[in-house]
Structure 1
Amino acid sequence: MAALSFISQECGDSGTDETLFALIAEDIEKQGFSIRHGALPEDMASALYAHQLNLNGQKYIEAGIGRGENYLVSEFVRTDEICWINGDSPAGSRWIGWTGQLQQFLNRRLFLGLFSFESHFAHYAPGAYYKRHYDAFRGQTNRVLTVVAYLNPSWTNEDGGELVLYRSDQDREGTRVTPLFGTLVVFLSEEYPHEVLPAARDRYSIAGWYRVNSSQDHRVDPPR
């Protein structure tokens, strides 16, 4: 199993964020993924967690695969529910601003050409899962970088619900990431198949994707 990277971060400020962003960029450059426990600013993580707990159940939709007309709900693949983050809450607005700062830093440091960001809250009820998959396929999407943030206080190994990040299609062991409160995972969307294992309790997180601009003619991509 691959070794994990760790960082402890207090309530974020610009200097602390820059240090974290530099570590993430170094990880991405060296190995294509970054796993940073306790990296999310604690006050922001607490606000996001509280907001997600207060979401009206009607705001969630069944998670599916694909986009637009190709969107398909399949319980064979995944059984979580999601709510897109549009910045209409203070917690969501701060998250969008913070990930925007990370986007700018990675573009300066790694020249990735990241153009936009989309993200959603994800709720996995006990027993819910997301089977092994890629977030992007070469030549078929403009997702470049995946970001996952975990919002689960007092999580234990017995609770399950790990993210398993595989290095290739041939990798059968993978790197397991416990969804501890404040953990941040960033990886190249086309390079790493991954899955979410069932948990014994409700599991809360945010999943997001940085995208490049692949607009052509009169077709806007990414769409609003």
Structure 2
Amino acid sequence: MQAAPSTLDHTVFKTSAIDFAQLAERGYVVVPNFLAPHYCQLLFDYAQNLAATDWQQAGIGRADQYTTNTAVRQDKIRWLQRDFAPERAYLDMMDGLRVQVNRELFMGLFDYECHLAHYPPGAFYRKHLDAFKGRSNRILTTVFYLNPHWQEADGGQLVMYDERGRVLETILPEAGKLVIFLSDVFMHEVLAGNRDRFSITGWYRHNTSINGVIDPTR
């Protein structure tokens, strides 16, 4: 497997493609071709070649309320760490985006956490919110897609809903596409797909640390 670079500079991802005014106005934005195809492929290859033991069954809830429920969520995840060059490269890139968002929208984003997500064929994630108002410091959700040559017939779409439960967007998980949305506003779900589906889901957060613990449980 070809190794991913340890850094991703501004020439391989396109903050200029992000419509920050649209993000501010409606609370979400879909950005095709955010990352150069070569780097998408490297990240896709990296995810595909991880061992089964590198993944864990995704769950819902936090701390003592954390549980796995495959009737709700069936993906497997791997939290990104700076110990591994491809993961560090992505984290560095998204930290650069955090700085840009703060510069453009004055959101006060403090840090970022993210995980790879692997949806085997048939796997789904039922409708949910990433954060509840007043109960989490997750502010902006990002979803970045890795699969090349993804078609409508492959399924696995991200469906976003408005506050009345109406469909706002049905988004095909095509390689290089980045979706950004307010974590505590938009209900969304992942439909079952017909192929192995890989993405990176993350959250920009405010700093609500207590005694050195970031985002403590409440």
Deviations 1:94-139 (A, max 9, x none): 1111100000011111111111100000000111000000000001
Equivalent position of 2:37 in the other structure: 42
1:199 corresponds, among 171, 185, 193, to 193
1:99 and 1:191 map into 2 onto residues whose CA distance is 21
Equivalent position of 2:111 in the other structure: 116
Equivalent position of 1:31 in the other structure: 26
Q: Secondary structure at the match of 1:147?
A: strand
Distance 1:182 1:18, change over 3 A: closer
Tell me the C-alpha RMSD between the 2 structures.
Answer: 1.8
1:222 matched to 2:215? The reply is yes
Give the aligned length: 209
**Structure 2 residue runs without a partner (length 5+):** 1-7
2:167 corresponds, among 160, 169, 173, to 173
Distance 1:142 1:129, change over 3 A: same
1:126 corresponds, among 104, 112, 121, to 121
Tell me by how many angstroms 1:41 deviates. Answer: 2.5
**Structure 1 residue runs without a partner (length 5+):** 1-10
The question of whether the paired residues in 2 share the 8 Å contact of 1:44 and 1:95 is answered with no
1:162 and 1:194 map into 2 onto residues whose CA distance is 10
Distance 1:16 1:127, change over 3 A: closer
Q: Secondary structure at the match of 1:174?
A: strand
Aligned positions of 1:74-85 closer than 5 A: 74-85=69-80
Deviations 1:39-85 (A, max 9, x none): 12323212211110111111110001122222111112101100111
**TM-score w.r.t. structure 1 length?**
0.88
Q: Secondary structure at the match of 2:180?
A: strand
Equivalent position of 1:58 in the other structure: 53
Tell me by how many angstroms 1:177 deviates. Answer: 0.2
Letter of the 2:208 counterpart? S
Letter of the 2:139 counterpart? V
The question of whether the paired residues in 2 share the 8 Å contact of 1:12 and 1:41 is answered with no
Equivalent position of 2:150 in the other structure: 155
1:72 corresponds, among 63, 67, 82, to 67
Q: Secondary structure at the match of 2:208?
A: coil
Q: Secondary structure at the match of 2:167?
A: coil
Tell me by how many angstroms 1:12 deviates. Answer: 6.5
The question of whether the paired residues in 1 share the 8 Å contact of 2:41 and 2:148 is answered with no
Tell me by how many angstroms 1:172 deviates. Answer: 3.1
1:68 and 1:119 map into 2 onto residues whose CA distance is 17
The question of whether the paired residues in 2 share the 8 Å contact of 1:44 and 1:91 is answered with no
The question of whether the paired residues in 2 share the 8 Å contact of 1:155 and 1:179 is answered with yes
The question of whether the paired residues in 1 share the 8 Å contact of 2:144 and 2:200 is answered with yes
Equivalent position of 1:13 in the other structure: 10
Tell me by how many angstroms 1:25 deviates. Answer: 2.0
The range that moved more, 44-53 or 202-211, is 44-53
Equivalent position of 2:4 in the other structure: none
